[in-house]
Amino acid sequence: MIKAFIFDLDGVIVDTAKYHFIAWRRMANAVGSDFTEEENEKLKGVSRMESLDLILEWGGVEKTVAEKQELATQKNEWYREYILKMDDSEILEGILPFLDAAEAQGLKLAVGSSSKNATTILEQIGLKDRFEVIIDGNKLTRSKPDPQVFEMGAEAMGLKPNECVVFEDAEKGVDAALSGGFYAVGVGGDNLKHAHHVVPDFTNLTPNDILQALPAAAI
Ligand code: BG6
Ligand code: MG
The tens digit of pLDDT for each residue in 101-157 reads: 999 999 999 999 999 999 999 999 999 999 999 999 999 999 999 999 999 999 999
Give kind and range of the element (H or E) at residue 91: none
Amino acid 132: pLDDT: 98
Give nearest CA residue, ligand 1 atom 11: 115
Give strand ranges (E) for the chain: 4-7, 108-112, 133-135, 164-168, 183-187, 197-199
Amino acid 217: pLDDT: 86
Rounded distance, CA 211 to CA 7, Å?
15
Supply the CATH number for residue 11's domain: 3.40.50.1000
In three-state form (DSSP H/G/I as H, E/B as E, the rest C), the secondary structure along 70-86 is HHHHHHHHHHHHHHCCC
> Does the pTM of the predicted model rise above 0.90?
yes
The tens digit of pLDDT for each residue in 26-45 reads: 999 999 999 999 999 899 99
Domain that holds residue 113: 4-15+88-218
- Asked whether residue 41 falls in the same domain as residue 31, the answer is yes
What is the distance in A from the centroid of ligand 1 to the CA of 46?
A: 6
Lowest mean pLDDT of 17-26, 167-176, 210-219, name the range: 210-219
Quote the number of domains for the chain. 2
The tens digit of pLDDT for each residue in 174-197 reads: 999 999 999 999 999 889 999 999
- Asked whether residue 121 falls in the same domain as residue 52, the answer is no
Tell me the average pLDDT of the chain: 97
Give nearest CA residue, ligand 1 atom 14: 115
